[in-house]
Homo-oligomer: A and B are copies of this chain.
């Protein structure tokens, strides 16, 4: 029995990586500098260590179990405010994390954050269908926004969010946490630098067995779709960042187990294939009925793989070359702490986020085409 970690069968368990304990490690690179400025959006030399102040919108599992604890590992981010429909829950958490109750907002008085100068950034951790509305309201309130992925439920909402950020002259980033952790960053670097030669093929698989049939992720109006929206987006986004290209064609097939109470409104699984301008192809799978957690780049002289690839911790890398495989050790970082510190830094230093609204929009356009192909007998859909 080795300790090679895979998935367990719940979403949280899956993403947390069974058996994977979180190891605190120093933050490294990726746009995180030690300089800081007093005034957002203006580049100034460092004047001591300033932290951007965050409001969390939505106090669900992700916020409670991942995001809140991550603040203790940040260097540039401070948990300052909550927005929740449940005052009592918010107060309990505020006490735990030292949030002043005056910074607790409801969805009704949410827009008054405009008058709270102690909030710099709003982090949207709501069901997908609410992303657009709350992102736009936060931007209109003069705050920068980090919004969880998928960015929204359709392309039009994504475009409206980007337009709102431009109109408000505020920053908008989408929560692609894997772009902020060393294993996925190293995969990208190995592919770009052709450590094993040119990339020939990419395979990305993301899935877990979803639980409670009543959760919002299984309600089409709230989730926008099934596994493809929620977990397949990891495979899609990885195929894009590992290739370094934007797909020009997609084709897909979906399947949903009949009479499974979980899949009354949304699809269970989607297999999708993408062709990139260089000709490179990616073969991807998204699943709500089976655990899968692996990205692999096949290059001329060997291949390199993450498995688990997308869990919150415990990622592992194997490099296959010349008939043997080698595990590559990398520093461990809290994905959320790194992601938040990166965005804090962008806000403090006036720099651009690694995954702006346009990144979320690109995925949404491709997901729309994937659903179109799957619904249309698998016919290739061209992307422009």
Contact = CB atoms under 8 A, between A and B. Distances in A.
Contacts of A251: 251, 253, 378
Number of copies: 2
Interface stretch (A94-102, A136-144, A276-284): A276-284
A103 interface: no
Nearest to A250: B378
A323 B201 contact: no
A203 B285 CA distance: 9
A88 interface: no
B6 A325 contact: yes
Contacts of A1: 324, 326
Contacts of A253: 249, 251, 273, 275, 281, 380
A55 B273 CA distance: 44
Interface in A271-313: 271, 273, 275, 279-281, 283-285, 287, 289-292, 298-303
Contacts of A249: 253, 378
A323 B269 contact: no
Contacts of A377: 379-380
Interface in A298-343: 298-303, 318, 320-327
A26 interface: no
Contacts of A292: 201, 203, 298, 303
Contacts of A207: 201, 298
Contacts of A203: 203, 205, 285, 292
Contacts of A284: 283
Given A269-B200, A378-B251, A378-B380, A291 B298 contact: yes
B285 A201 contact: yes
A32 interface: no
A174 to B, nearest CB: 27
Contact of A4 (B9, B280, B285, B324): B324
A303 B290 contact: yes
A255 interface: yes
Given A201-B287, A379-B379, A279 B302 contact: no
Nearest to A270: B281
A280 B253 CA distance: 11
Contacts of A384: none
A123 B5 CA distance: 45
20 contacts: A1-B326, A4-B324, A4-B325, A5-B325, A13-B323, A200-B289, A201-B290, A203-B292, A207-B298, A251-B251, A253-B380, A271-B273, A271-B283, A287-B298, A290-B298, A290-B299, A290-B303, A291-B302, A377-B380, A378-B380
